[in-house]
Structure 1
Amino acid sequence: MTPLQVPGLPQPPEAPHRVSARARLRNYFLTGLVVAGPLTITIYLTWWFITLVDGWVKPLIPRYYLPDTYLPFAIPGFGLIIAFFGLTMLGFLTANLVGRSLISAGELLLERMPVVRGLYRGVKQVFETLFSTTGTSFRTAGLIEFPVKGTWSIVFLSAPPAADVTDRLPESGEYVSVFLPCTPNPTTGFFFYLPRQEVIELAMSVDDAAKLVMSAGLIQPETLPRRYPVEQAVREPAELS
């Protein structure tokens, strides 16, 4: 019993916990890092992309069309605007009959080149798959048991296997094409075919799954998997309340 404590009388309130100056400085530094880090990286990547496009496009434009020729300073992003306008016009011209005829003539010429033909086909198929609004590639995330039994990894479901591949696979129901990304770089990984019953589809989007992979599990999505039991999902909020 301390001298200030008297039995039967109200006790004096405890002194508030005082944070040291070192802890405050550490908290201020971490808070500033969390605020400035993403903003700085975003600005840096945006500036890098604009500079990269300007370096590609500006040498193709005559100097008397560039505003840098008449101004004492360079205007960043001018090449990006020209590239956006040029790609939009290319898409507009390709949508009509004359543009389609020119594209078909160019593709016919490339088809006659032995080495360039395969490269062009592969690159074109990748772009059509990634930027197609009606395609099904990488529209769903899932879980598979990998690399050993009892451990689960996130995968992305892509297009179904072709008929010649399906005919060679063992009969085990419907097969799906899956891509298993690596952490923290999801652009590398493994591609293989699996029976659909061995893949658990998730309700999270592909973007959330990619963030989960890149952050090594630090950024968790706030969604429930599609196979999450409905009874458990309803019961848990009631238990918490």
Structure 2
Amino acid sequence: MLDSNFQHAVAALLTIVSLYGIGLLASFVIGKKVIDVYEKILARLPLVQTIYGATKRFLHTISQPPVTGQRVVLISFPSSEMKAVGFITKIMRDKNTGKQLAAVYVPNSPNPTSGYIEILSTENVILTDWTTKETMTFVVTGGTNAPESLRFSQKTKQQEPTDQR
């Protein structure tokens, strides 16, 4: 009889080899067809279709460069003293005032596919110079992997120093 530790090691090795094989297969045309068949099967399952489809669309959206401006932002969340990293997913307009509003997705750590959607005035959004990849790494690692500097506050004309001679 085989030792259970040996069985676990063999199972882990087979899992790794299988995942590598699937990745290798996916890089070829035949692999793409297999993935298409797999996605069609998933599309037939009611709950899985909703979650998988939404997650796939979300990841596709944030991986694309934004139409205008920077996509990665900071917003005051959950309080005005704290900032959360988010992605602008859509710019809208307030029907009453005409002000621009930003739909900002705030991902949870370490699973960025779950999070919050906040709608706020674009005046309350702090643009960053982070790329989507840097931000996702920051979120997944719980903030341990971050650039050295960050603009934490919104610069307004009132805050800029004036030259008084």
Q: CA deviation at 1:198?
A: 1.0
For 1:192 and 1:87, the matched residues in 2 are separated by 36
2:37 to 71, 96, 105: 105
Query: Whole-Å Cα distance in 2 between the matches of residues 156 and 189 of structure 1?
Result: 11
Q: Give the alignment partner of residue 140 of structure 1, picking from 72, 75, 90.
A: 72
Percent identity of equivalent pairs: 15
- Give the aligned partner of residue 149 of structure 2: 223
Equivalent position of 2:121 in the other structure? 195
Q: Which runs of 5+ in 2 are unaligned?
A: 157-165
Please give the residue correspondences for 1:21-100 in structure 2 after superposition, counting only pairs within 5 Å.
69=2, 74=6, 78-100=10-32
Shift of 1:95: 2.2
Q: What are the superposed Cα offsets for residues 89-148 of structure 1, whole Å, 9 maximum, x if unpaired?
A: 21221222222222222322333343442233235446x45xx8x4569x835242753x
Contact 1:153 1:180 (C-alpha < 8 Å) held by counterparts: no
- Distance in 2, matches of 1:178 and 1:124, equals 15
Tell whether 2:102 aligns with 1:175.
Answer: yes
Q: Structure 1 CA distance, aligned partners of 2:53 and 2:24?
A: 22
Contact preservation (8 Å) 2:72, 2:86: yes
Cross-structure match for 1:155: 84
Closer, same or farther in 2 for the Cα pair 1:124/1:152, shift >3 Å? same
The change in CA–CA distance for 1:144 and 1:73 in structure 2 (over 3 A counts) is closer
SS, match of residue 149 in structure 2 = coil
Corresponding pairs, count: 140
User: Which protein shows a greater Rg?
Assistant: 1
Q: Hey, which of these two has a bigger chunk of helix by percent?
A: 1
> TM (normalized to structure 1)?
0.40
CA displacement, residues 42-84 of structure 1 (integer Å, 9 cap, x when unaligned): xxxxxxxxxxxxxxxxxxxxxxxxxx93x69538655444333
TM-fit CA distance, 1:225: 1.8
Q: In the superposition, relative to structure 1, how do residues 172 and 186 fare at CA in structure 2: closer, same or farther (>3 Å)?
A: farther
- Tell me how far apart the structure 1 counterparts of residues 15 and 89 of structure 2 sit (CA, whole Å): 35
SS at structure 1 position matched to 2:151: coil
User: Could you list the runs of 5+ residues in structure 1 that have no partner in the other structure?
Assistant: 1-67, 213-220, 230-241
TM-score normalised by structure 2 residue count: 0.54
- Do the aligned partners of residues 178 and 194 (structure 1) sit closer, same or farther apart at CA in structure 2, a change above 3 Å counting? farther
Contact 2:104 2:118 (C-alpha < 8 Å) held by counterparts: yes
Q: Which has the higher strand share?
A: 2
Amino acid at match of 1:85: V
What is the alpha-carbon distance in structure 2 between the residues aligned to residue 190 and residue 200 of structure 1? 17
Q: CA RMSD in A?
A: 4.6
